[in-house]
Structure 1
Amino acid sequence: MLSAQPNQKPGLFVPVAGLSLFALASGYLMSLIPLSLTYFDLSLDLAPWLASIFYLGLLLGAPCIAPIVSRIGHSKAFILFLNILLCSVVVMVLLPQSSVWLVSRLIAGLAVAGIFVVVESWLLMADTQKQRAKRLGLYMTALYGGTAIGQLAVDYLGTTGNLPYLVVIGLLAAASLPALLVKRGQPQSSEQHAIALSDLKTLSKPAIVGCLVSGLLLGPIYGLLPVYVSRDMGFAQQTGQFMALIIMGGMIVQPLVSYLSPRVEKSVLMTAFCLVGAAALLLLIQTSLVGLWLGFVLLGACAFALYPIAISLACDHLPSSQIVSATQIMLLSYSVGSVIGPVAASRFDDVEHGLPLYLAASFLVTVCYLSAHLLARSKARLPTAKA
């Protein structure tokens, strides 16, 4: 496996630059796929299944990444997974059939799992919690910033024809260039230890739940919200702008997450973001345009804050040699939620404001769990405090 030598810190340019270009393509693609279904004569009912099968690919791919990174290294693995994703998009354009798109999105999920694990483990190879929080904040800012800008392409480049997909393919090809051209600053080879099954119980349960709920939220936000905004809210021309506001909220909140994570108990922090997120959804069921803008920004901030807090919590007390394995487990948890989320949210289709209600319920159930966890832990500490 690959890790950093104690006296060498992996550089940031290659993963962040490549991730930013990948995020531009991914941001555009996530809204492009459900909105282009009618152009390719595919049913809109396919949208939740395309989202779920993509996250099924994440789920299946997460446990398989470490051996590949071990054999070929972070940089080559990053290039490999980007090109697999690129090929999946090419196939979708050439063969616009339901079965082909489902298989392509499954393969895309496998590839994106590799991209996330490679970049996250690359950036999390730092010596202290503070350094890891800063690097994770940079990672999330690049990811969400690129994704937000990519969402705007829906309004400017549209969702019909082959041009939008050609733009996505070009961005994915460009994302490989930093890793191809820059050879310095890559993680050096050293021993990387897997986390044994018996060690899983030592990982933070709130961290695992945080990643799970992040998937339950972001799966429907990526896969179903563009259709909800366009069809149910009646903002077809502004869909890209509203989606960009969500991602922009996720980007804006990352410096705050980086600042608060080392200073505030992370379970408390996740609880607070879940409460604000549930409140933000009330703004999506009213008619004020300013209220809608604020609601989308707050929703994005709260939904996208959970994963970095949770993964940071999971890695807080782990050595660098177990970071790749920990990120795999957290991605696995996120993927389970992402597979379930779009299908579960689609069950609310017959209810007025069904998708916002589903998202609010996910936030509030998480608040209940984290509050119960914090209460149980505080009670467990009482005898020690009295002693």
Structure 2
Amino acid sequence: MTIITHDNVENNIVTPVVGLTFFAVASGFLMSLIPLSVTHFDIDLSLIPWLASVFYFGLLVGATCIQRVIKRLGHRRSFISFLTLVALTVVVMILVPHQVTWLVARFVAGMAVAGVFVVVESWLLMANCSKQRAKRLGLYMAALYGGSAVGQLAISVFGTDGIQPYLCVLLLLFMATLAPILIRSGQPHSHDQQSISRKEIRHINRPAIIGCMVSGLLLGPIYGLMPSYLTHISVFAEHTGLLMASIIMGGMLVQPIASAMSTRMSKSLLMAIFCMLGCLAVMGVLESSTLVMMGFSLLLLGASSFALYPIAITLACDHLPTEKMVSATEMMLLCYSVGSVLGPLLATTFTEVGNGLIMYLGVCLITTCIYMLMKSAETISSGQKPIAG
């Protein structure tokens, strides 16, 4: 049972959601801009995969040390600090366009982005009840994915040549920082935040940990490898942008559905259902002969893949007091980051198989579905409340 404190009453979500929305647009724009603009800065194309890898490694490292920053500075000032740090890495990349500089900048950016995620997620999860948490996290994921989708479209508007697109990214990051600067009230109190002990880690819901890790195992390859996969399908190559947008749109549309259902049924069973839908989507992708069928299959694949993380993180926090929320979200982000780093590497082992990436996603989804069904059955047989996962 969640402890209701004065912090919960004061806590509102305007600042993190507004700031996150602008940040998501900037981040989505920047993630696509970097690989497309390296030649303009006379940087070798072979550096592109390393820039992506070092960013996710920074995300992984950052997920281990965010709690101490939040405890010292509070959520609002930490939010400002991490957003400012991301902006500074962009400035350094513009001023010093060198391979080593860019690698270091992307690593630091990964750590800062981890801070943004932990700040926003823990801020929203410090609510009075699990139902309110689910609604807030659904709004968080919708803002994140919606902003990322808009950021992808910015490429066609602002282009990739010169420093002008990077200045647009800096402007968006500045707009994101304005939210916590101007809205000074409503942040949760962070001075009493506590770490989760090793003993408590053993008692955190295992399906929650697995759900976060599998989310990374799925989304890492979807973000990093799916565009290349779609480009090499001759029938749909010219529609790669549209099909990638379908995946992200599926992730947006599923958030209110996932948040509503997570308060009415076992969360492990709900994750099993979404994994089952993902398996159907994989079959649809493999059998698609028309653009409409491919688009719908990828929409369903995006919905099933993007639904896992918010369900898993609310499951992890269901029975934790508010002073443990930052530590819990930090640990869940660490699990997601591990999956994001390993996912593309594991997916490449399927390259010798036809439609290797899709087969990899199918294996992840079906094994996770079986695991979640087994854990849900254990919960029911043990007589626990289904909503506990």
TM-score w.r.t. length of structure 2:
0.90
What is the match of residue 28 of structure 1? Answer: 29
Q: Which amino acid aligns with 2:11?
A: P
What is the match of residue 180 of structure 1? Answer: 181
Distance 1:202 1:327 in 2: 15
Could you tell me how far 1:335 is from its partner in structure 2? 0.8
What is the match of residue 273 of structure 1? Answer: 274
Structure 2 counterparts to residues 32-111 of structure 1, below 5 A:
32-37=33-38, 40=41, 46-111=47-112
Distance 1:53 1:317 in 2: 35
Structure 2: gaps spanning 5 or more residues: 385-389
Structure 2 counterparts to residues 298-313 of structure 1, below 5 A:
298-313=300-315
- Classify 1:269/1:44 alpha carbon distance in 2 versus 1 (closer, same or farther; 3 Å): farther
Residue by residue over 1:98-139, the C-alpha shift from the partner in whole angstroms, topping out at 9 and shown as x without a partner, is: 443332221111001100110111111111111111111111
What is the match of residue 387 of structure 2? Answer: none
Distance 1:139 1:337 in 2: 21
Could you tell me how far 1:380 is from its partner in structure 2? 5.0
- Classify 1:109/1:264 alpha carbon distance in 2 versus 1 (closer, same or farther; 3 Å): same
Could you tell me how far 1:237 is from its partner in structure 2? 5.4
Residue 19 (str. 1) matches residue 20 (str. 2):
yes
Distance 1:178 1:288 in 2: 44
Distance 2:98 2:236 in 1: 28
Could you tell me how far 1:242 is from its partner in structure 2? 2.6
Matched residue SS, 2:189: coil
Structure 2 counterparts to residues 329-340 of structure 1, below 5 A:
329-340=331-342
What is the match of residue 144 of structure 2? Answer: 143
Distance 1:91 1:363 in 2: 40
Q: Is the 8 A contact 1:81 1:112 kept in 2?
A: yes
- Classify 1:175/1:355 alpha carbon distance in 2 versus 1 (closer, same or farther; 3 Å): same
Matched residue SS, 2:196: coil
What is the match of residue 318 of structure 1? Answer: 320
Q: Is the 8 A contact 2:75 2:190 kept in 1?
A: no
Could you tell me how far 1:35 is from its partner in structure 2? 4.0
Structure 2 counterparts to residues 191-206 of structure 1, below 5 A:
191-206=192-207
Residue 129 (str. 1) matches residue 153 (str. 2):
no
Could you tell me how far 1:292 is from its partner in structure 2? 1.9
What is the match of residue 385 of structure 1? Answer: none
Distance 1:155 1:235 in 2: 19
Distance 2:102 2:232 in 1: 22
Distance 2:5 2:106 in 1: 33
2:350 aligns with one of 343, 348, 351? 348
Could you tell me how far 1:278 is from its partner in structure 2? 2.2
Q: Is the 8 A contact 1:211 1:334 kept in 2?
A: yes
Distance 1:239 1:163 in 2: 25
Residue by residue over 1:345-376, the C-alpha shift from the partner in whole angstroms, topping out at 9 and shown as x without a partner, is: 23334443222222222212211322333344
Which segment drifts farther, 285-294 or 38-47?
Answer: 38-47
Distance 1:37 1:226 in 2: 18
Residue by residue over 1:183-219, the C-alpha shift from the partner in whole angstroms, topping out at 9 and shown as x without a partner, is: 1212235522211111101100000000001111111
Could you tell me how far 1:45 is from its partner in structure 2? 5.2
What is the match of residue 168 of structure 2? Answer: 167
Could you tell me how far 1:43 is from its partner in structure 2? 5.6
Distance 1:244 1:302 in 2: 15
Q: Which amino acid aligns with 2:198?
A: L
What is the match of residue 116 of structure 1? Answer: 117
Which segment drifts farther, 111-120 or 226-235?
Answer: 226-235
Q: Is the 8 A contact 1:49 1:342 kept in 2?
A: no
TM-score w.r.t. length of structure 1:
0.90
Q: Which amino acid aligns with 1:175?
A: A
Q: Is the 8 A contact 1:52 1:338 kept in 2?
A: no
- Classify 1:95/1:312 alpha carbon distance in 2 versus 1 (closer, same or farther; 3 Å): same
Could you tell me how far 1:238 is from its partner in structure 2? 4.0
Residue by residue over 1:144-202, the C-alpha shift from the partner in whole angstroms, topping out at 9 and shown as x without a partner, is: 11112112223333344433332222211211011111112122355222111111011
- Classify 1:84/1:211 alpha carbon distance in 2 versus 1 (closer, same or farther; 3 Å): same
Matched residue SS, 2:319: coil
Q: Is the 8 A contact 1:35 1:226 kept in 2?
A: no
Q: Which amino acid aligns with 2:21?
A: S
Q: Which amino acid aligns with 1:173?
A: F
Residue 328 (str. 1) matches residue 326 (str. 2):
no
Matched residue SS, 2:63: helix
